[in-house]
Chains A and B, each alone.
Chain A
Amino acid sequence: MSDFMGGLSKPPEPPTRSEPSRGVRGRTRETRDGPRGPESVTGFGTGTQRGGGSVAVLRDGAKGFWGETLQLARAVGRTMGVTFKNLVARKPVTVMYPDVRRQYPDRFRGVLALTYDKETGEENCIGCRLCEYICPPQVIKVEMLKAKERNWAKHFTLELYSCEFCELCVQVCPTDAIVMLKTFELATSDRRELLLDKDRLHALGLEHEHSWATGTRLRDMQAPPKAARGEGHRDGATRGEAAVTAPAAAAKPAGTAALAGAGSAEESATPAPAAKADGPSTAEAVKTAAAPPAAPGEVKTKETAE
């Protein structure tokens, strides 16, 4: 009976491959363990079984009309049981958003912003255009302003309406100048308001909480573990100490100071390459703590040499 009904219930096959496919189906039926109809009476078995994997509720082995009907009834019962349990036993998990905000995760990828140096009040961007090159939707445009001590960004525009929030610009930034914020509220009545210039990006950075990720931290995270890198120089404890003292020694740890809060001391203390030029003591500290994150190639060569 199952075969008769099942044969009728199978979805109409494309006419071109009617003969060969029938043969294939017959063979697969034989190879499966246990006798079972090729398709179910109700048509439910067809789609779920074809992959060969067994589904928890509708599994192989239901025999005949009554077997399949029973299986169907049990499946329906279980499904509706789940929703009923939700209905009576579980509390809503809704966060009433505009009134209540949940804690956003540390790696939240929200609106982009530019940072200031906390101590000097200077902007961190050196106009190197790395972010412009890496940006997949090409929404960043930077123009460099050459100067004596360091370079600046003459213009920095970001078309946030086309941004895909991939965080690549943050990853490549050598001076941790561009970061992401823990906010996503972009709603505006005019699309042009999302074309952000330097001032607007700076203002945004002051306005909202920063996400954890900065260029330095991200590169640090992707580099080989520190134990491997630090081997042969010092043991773990002193290395940690040196790392903590590093920013104090550095006159201008250009990258990280603007970031508030998150991250362990060791990670946040890793200075940016801009700090290297400041003096021999800083350079030493950098060397002992970790390889400069801006040069992953250097780390690799050191490792392979050992």
Chain B
Amino acid sequence: MTLPPLAQAAIAAFIVLNAVILMVAYVTLLERKFAARMQSRIGPYYVGWPHGWLQPIADALKLMLKEDVVPAAADRWVYNLAPIAFLVPCVLIFATIPFAPGLGVADLNIGILFFLAVSALEIVGLFMGGWGSNNKYALISAMRAVNQIISYDLPFIFTALVPVVLAGSMQLSEIVSAQTGLFGWFVFRAWGLGVLALLAYLVATIAAENRVPFDILEAESELVAGFRVEYSGMKFALIQLGEYAHILGTSFLGALLFLGGWLGPGPAWLGPIWFLLKAIFVFLLITWVRWSFVRIRVDQILAISWKLLLPLSIVLLMAAAFAVAWSGGARV
């Protein structure tokens, strides 16, 4: 039985969406466990045996049962739509990620551009929340977010373009297939360019996701919870879901761009598992950074972006282009 292509795409999207939500839930558990061990703690333990594996479900249930508070002076429509406007781009970025050859919603030929474009939309939902709450903390947070997004989107895009130049394609599956062979991943390639690009990508990723040490927009000590300070219950859960979906999405993208995606030893059906492991590796790198550093100041964040990361990413991109040009299209 063959279905029309639209129905096929819908089914694929449904499956991926649910898988993403499930993964996001368990990624939070993973992060909590990881963070706990870094601080010589145990982490979630009691809900579900062993080691609290039911904790994400319990959290979701708790958030669903919470009272949904809308501030009296809030801009009601904007306030209520903000979590959705925030969540949709964050989940949409998974649409173009291939989990194995031919396994994914849509392997667009502008894959990476789609990813970058859609994740740039996330900021709209963010400042809808910040504005609509009619709360000074939320508004300050939204302003800081805009500041930071302007600063860190460019390095993020430039570093993500390094593998594109090396592979000669924007299609994510093409980028992966350009990384075959022993030490073929882009981290190991191009005379150290790849490693630098991966490091810059990670820093830009952390900043674009507003995580510690770049989390001035939700700095707990000054802004309580930033733009989501007024949100509770399911809306808060949606924002949280969106945030972790974004982190997971960039982890998957990092694994695709630099770590060879589903390539790995063993039979072909192991591919998605390799991919998942690599994505989790990238996620844990980001988490490791998060639990190692303290929050840095606004001017330091801007200085790092404009004086260190942006020049570095431009230089890396140009170096990659020169390397490709000199080698005359051969592998570098």
A/B: CB atoms within 8 Å of each other: yes
Judged by a CB distance under 8 angstroms, whether A80 is at the interface is yes
Number of interface residues of B (CB under 8 A): 22
Chain A residues with CB under 8 Å of B297's CB are 11, 43, 47
A10 CA to B299 CA, complexed, in Å: 8
CB of A83 within 8 A of CB of B304, answer: no
Judged by a CB distance under 8 angstroms, whether A148 is at the interface is no
In the complex formed, the residue of A with least CB distance to B291 is A83
Q: Which B residues from 288 to 303 make CB contacts under 8 A with A?
A: 288-289, 291-293, 296-297, 299-300, 303
- Known A11-B297, A47-B297, A80-B292: A92·B303 in contact at CB below 8 Å: no
Which of B45, B293, B299 contacts A43, CB < 8 Å? B299
Chain A residues with CB under 8 Å of B296's CB are 44
Which of A42, A87, A93, A94 contacts B303, CB < 8 Å? A42
Judged by a CB distance under 8 angstroms, whether B39 is at the interface is yes
Which of A43, A90, A91 contacts B300, CB < 8 Å? A43
Judged by a CB distance under 8 angstroms, whether A41 is at the interface is yes
User: Chain B contact residues: over half helix, strand or loop, or mixed?
Assistant: helix
Which of B41, B291, B308 contacts A94, CB < 8 Å? B41
A11 CA to B298 CA, complexed, in Å: 9
Number of interface residues of A (CB under 8 A): 27
1/0 contact trace for A24-62 toward B, CB 8 Å?
000000000000000001111011000000000000000
CB of B37 within 8 A of CB of A43, answer: no
CB of A86 within 8 A of CB of B304, answer: no
A87 CA to B304 CA, complexed, in Å: 28
Which of B34, B40, B289, B293 contacts A93, CB < 8 Å? B40
Judged by a CB distance under 8 angstroms, whether A12 is at the interface is yes
CB of A43 within 8 A of CB of B303, answer: yes
CB of B299 within 8 A of CB of A9, answer: yes
A86 CA to B303 CA, complexed, in Å: 31
CB of B299 within 8 A of CB of A86, answer: no
CB of A9 within 8 A of CB of B307, answer: yes
A8 CA to B292 CA, complexed, in Å: 27
Q: Which B residues from 16 to 39 make CB contacts under 8 A with A?
A: 34, 36-39
CB of B307 within 8 A of CB of A84, answer: no
A96 CA to B46 CA, complexed, in Å: 10
In the complex formed, the residue of B with least CB distance to A5 is B307
Judged by a CB distance under 8 angstroms, whether A187 is at the interface is no
A47 CA to B297 CA, complexed, in Å: 9
* Interface residues, chain B, with chain A CB atoms under 8 Å away: 34, 36-42, 45, 288-289, 291-293, 296-297, 299-300, 303-304, 307-308
* Interface residues, chain A, with chain B CB atoms under 8 Å away: 5, 8-12, 41-44, 46-47, 69, 76, 79-80, 82-84, 86-87, 90-94, 96
Q: 6 shortest A-B CB distances, which residue pairs? A: A43-B303, A43-B300, A9-B303, A11-B299, A83-B292, A94-B42
